């Protein structure tokens, strides 16, 4: 009876142990399969988001390459510049198809990518239209097309949407890496428990534990290999972007050299025209009638305007490439010095200038001098008849999207303009008045915009015809504000 009871107890214990073993095997098997599925799904998601980031980066590179080729050809009319443009357009069609097939796991991302592709197609159409005009010897229409700013606005919108999509994908990828790390830790714990319980409960489970260890090692090696592949792809794309950046820098240097040579070659015949004009006027003025003297005056004036235009164009092209390193610049003293440089114009016009206390900012001092010289000179030049100019230079701070800005306004009581032309005045060669009425090349405010944009800021204008103009300059805030008591500078 005791033997039977012992046998029954032993049988019961073995049955209990066997049940526990079976349950552990089932549990461990379920956990192992779930871990593998999670790893596989996460890895697949990593591949997908990596492909999306890569494809939109390629799309961005091709758009930049096409635009660089287009601008190079428009500036130089050298056919070789069309080669990168045409190569980029040929690759864009295939790239658009590849990008269109992408399916992001980030909510709403697929729709954003579709909208981005529409912007790319619009930008491509704009590039093609401009180049076709130039190829058809319609340079003026091509230049007018460029000066509308449509291409620039399309690129800004495209760049902003692309960066937003990329940031969302990168954040999602970082989340996947965190999930992947958690799964790996859980896998280690699961397999360790499986090995221990299998060893203690049943020797036969050692074989299955060994298989599990081999399986774990296999997936770990695969994961490491996949991580190495991803790292290699990132390195390759980084190298490609570096090469592209170097190529772009080289192209910019070549364009700058071309601009310098072109300006020098153009200035030389102009100097001769002006010199011979002076000789004609000095030595033969008595031999010429009134009409002949008028022709000489017109010739000299045209040569002078052409010389000024060439110099302004050269200065416009050098704002980014020849700018000096940024340093702390006290705007208060800089603006005072600028006002001193045009003291004669101020006295002749009877202008009154009110200057707020200005901060110290991180900037290029020479370009800041040029910026305020242009704005103050314009306020004096475009004044109303029989009304003394009143110019107010004011300072304030603004916070937009958690970023602080220096805000400087230059306000006058001049002739003003229609608000619909507020963007046109910053485009090179755009004039709102006849040359005979107001002198100038029409490039001063374009230089102002490039200077402000080089400092990471924005410049805008609001005006009422006959009541004056208000220019608003916004520069990122990075200095401590000083005392804000103001002062007047009167002629």
Lowest mean pLDDT across 11-25, 227-241, 429-443, 460-474: 429-443
Q: Which of 256, 282, 317 is the last residue of a domain?
A: 317
Which residue matches tokens 């050098």?
Answer: 318
Total structural domains within the chain: 3
68 to 63, 71, 72, 449: CA distances (angstroms) = 9, 5, 6, 21
320-345 in b/e form (b: 16+ CB < 10 A) is: eeebeeeeebebbebbeebbeebeeb
Q: What is the mean pLDDT of the chain?
A: 75
User: Do 393 and 374 have their domain in common?
Assistant: yes
- Rounded mean pLDDT, 404-410: 90
pLDDT in tens, 421-431: 777 777 765 55
For the entire predicted model, the pTM comes to: 0.43
The sign of the torsion formed by the CA atoms of 24, 27, 31, 36 equals positive
pLDDT in tens, 134-189: 666 656 665 665 666 676 777 777 788 888 888 888 888 888 888 877 877 777 77
The domain containing residue 384 runs over which residues? Answer: 327-490
Asked if the structure places residue 254 within a domain, the reply is: no
CATH of the domain at 345: 3.30.565.10
Asked if the structure places residue 243 within a domain, the reply is: no
**C-beta atoms surrounding 11 within 10 Å:** 10
Which residue matches tokens 């949407």?
Answer: 161
User: Do 420 and 307 have their domain in common?
Assistant: no
- What percent of the chain has pLDDT above 70? 72
Asked if the structure places residue 217 within a domain, the reply is: no
Q: For residue 394, name the pLDDT band (cuts at 50, 70, 90).
A: very high
User: Do 360 and 439 have their domain in common?
Assistant: yes
CA atoms of 167 and 173, how far apart (whole Å)? 10
User: Do 309 and 372 have their domain in common?
Assistant: no
| 427 secondary structure, DSSP code | S
């Amino acid at each position: 009876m005791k033997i039977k009871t012992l046998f029954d107890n032993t049988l019961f214990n073995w049955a209990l142990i066997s049940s526990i073993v079976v349950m552990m095997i089932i549990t461990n098997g379920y956990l192992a399969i779930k871990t593998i599925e999670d790893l596989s799904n996460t890895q697949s998601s990593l591949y997908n988001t990596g492909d999306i980031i890569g494809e939109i980066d390629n799309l961005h590179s091709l758009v930049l390459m096409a635009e660089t080729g287009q601008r190079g050809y428009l500036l130089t009319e050298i056919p070789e510049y069309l080669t990168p443009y045409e190569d980029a357009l040929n690759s864009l069609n295939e790239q658009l198809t590849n990008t269109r097939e992408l399916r992001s796991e980030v909510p709403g991302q697929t729709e954003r990518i579709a909208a981005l592709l529409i912007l790319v197609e619009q930008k491509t159409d704009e590039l093609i239209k401009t180049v076709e005009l130039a190829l058809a010897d319609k340079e003026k229409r091509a230049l007018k097309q460029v000066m509308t700013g449509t291409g620039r606005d399309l690129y800004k919108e495209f760049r902003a949407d692309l960066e937003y999509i990329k940031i969302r994908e990168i954040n999602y990828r970082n989340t996947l890496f965190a999930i992947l790390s958690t799964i790996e830790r859980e896998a280690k714990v699961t397999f360790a428990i499986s090995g221990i319980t299998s060893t203690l409960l049943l020797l036969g489970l050692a074989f299955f534990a060994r298989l599990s260890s081999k399986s774990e090692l296999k997936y770990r090696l695969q994961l490491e290999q996949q991580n190495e592949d991803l790292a290699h792809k990132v390195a390759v794309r980084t190298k490609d972007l570096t090469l592209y950046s170097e190529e772009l820098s080289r192209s910019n240097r070549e364009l700058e050299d071309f601009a310098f040579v072109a300006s020098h070659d153009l200035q030389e015949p102009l100097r001769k025209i002006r010199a011979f004009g002076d000789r004609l006027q000095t030595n033969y003025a008595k031999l010429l009638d009134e009409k002949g003297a008028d022709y000489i005056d017109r010739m000299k004036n045209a040569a002078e305007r052409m010389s000024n235009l060439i110099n302004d164009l050269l200065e416009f092209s050098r704002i980014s490439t020849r700018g000096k390193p940024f340093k702390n610049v006290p705007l208060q003293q800089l603006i005072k010095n600028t006002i001193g440089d045009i003291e004669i114009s101020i006295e002749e016009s009877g202008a009154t200038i009110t200057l707020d206390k200005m901060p110290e900012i991180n900037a290029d001092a020479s370009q800041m001098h040029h910026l305020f010289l242009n704005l103050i000179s314009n306020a004096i030049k475009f004044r109303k008849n029989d009304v003394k100019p009143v110019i107010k230079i004011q300072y304030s701070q603004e916070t937009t999207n958690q970023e602080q800005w220096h805000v400087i306004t230059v306000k006058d009581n001049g002739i003003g303009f229609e608000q619909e032309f507020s963007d046109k005045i910053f485009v090179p060669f755009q004039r709102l008045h006849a040359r005979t009425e107001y002198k100038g090349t029409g490039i001063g405010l374009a230089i102002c915009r490039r200077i402000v944009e080089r400092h990471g800021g924005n410049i805008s204008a609001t005006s009422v015809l006959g009541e004056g103009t208000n220019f608003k300059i916004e520069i990122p805030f990075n200095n401590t504000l000083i005392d804000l008591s103001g002062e007047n500078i009167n002629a």
